[in-house]
Amino acid sequence: MRTVIYIDGFNLYYRMLKRAPEYKWINLKVLAEQVLDPSNDVIGVNYYTARVSARVNPRGPRNQQVYLDALATVPEIQVHFGNFQVNKAYAPIVGNASAKPVFLPQPTTATLDPWPDVVRIMKTEEKGSDVNLGSHLVRDAFQDKFDVAAVITNDTDLVEPIRIVTQEVGKKVGVLSPVSRTAGSLQSVASFVRHIRPAHLLAAQFPDPLPRNPESDLVKPVEWV
């Protein structure tokens, strides 16, 4: 069965990889093949992500580029970029009002009393990837580019695109879940649900170093060891 994979990169990262950097050096095509049946012929992998900001991690952009170069060695993988935004914003304090942090939103010569109910935070957001993923999934289904699609996510924003493909186009769409308890709304529209396990991640790692010919070999970032 012609199978195309659609990967919500940030959902996979925050659900499975952020606290396990040793698994970040991952071949996404091999990962899908590890989780799916042998009858699934993975002919394409679409990876949706965004360029990370050095404001959050100074080495982040460099490490990400090394990984993108590694993905480029797999012909079936295509990377689609959304936008990564870092903004300073005010957010309400949740919890015990008597235990507010010692913080002033702006430098001031006056003491604020009572203490404000908000704090200023660094807010990071990824924009566009879920819209791109859903749009491409529906387009490819109508254009008959696959027999089966598999979406790596637990984001309920993708329920409607998956429902359109399964119920209106009549094609199979599976959810490859990065969490142990998949969202019920996703389960209700998916043709099947499989769970990504740490063993799948381990079995799908790129070699280190990763040979490239004629270019120099790629080395896994030291922070990911």
Instruction: Please give the pLDDT value at position 87.
Output: 54
Q: What residues have CB less than 8 Å from 104, skipping those under 6 apart?
A: 112
Burial string for 132-141 (b: 16+ CB within 10 Å, else e) reads: ebbebbbebb
Instruction: Please give the pLDDT value at position 126.
Output: 58
Instruction: Give residue for tokens 């990071």.
Output: 124
Contact 162, 130 (CB under 8 A): no
- Which of the four CATH numbers 3.40.1360.10, 3.90.1170.50, 3.40.50.9100, 3.40.50.1010 does domain 2-85+126-224 have? 3.40.50.1010
CA dihedral 209, 210, 213, 214 (to 10 degrees): -50
Rounded to whole angstroms, the Cα distance separating 173 from 129 reads 18
Distance between the two ends of the chain, CA-based, in angstroms? 36
- Tell me the three state secondary structure of residue 158: helix
Distance of CA 12 to the CA centre of its chain: 4
Instruction: Please give the pLDDT value at position 54.
Output: 86
- Tell me the whole-structure pTM to 2 decimals: 0.83
Residues (pLDDT < 50) of the chain are: 109-113
Tokens representing 125?
A: 């957001």
Domain boundaries of the chain, sorted by first residue: 2-85+126-224
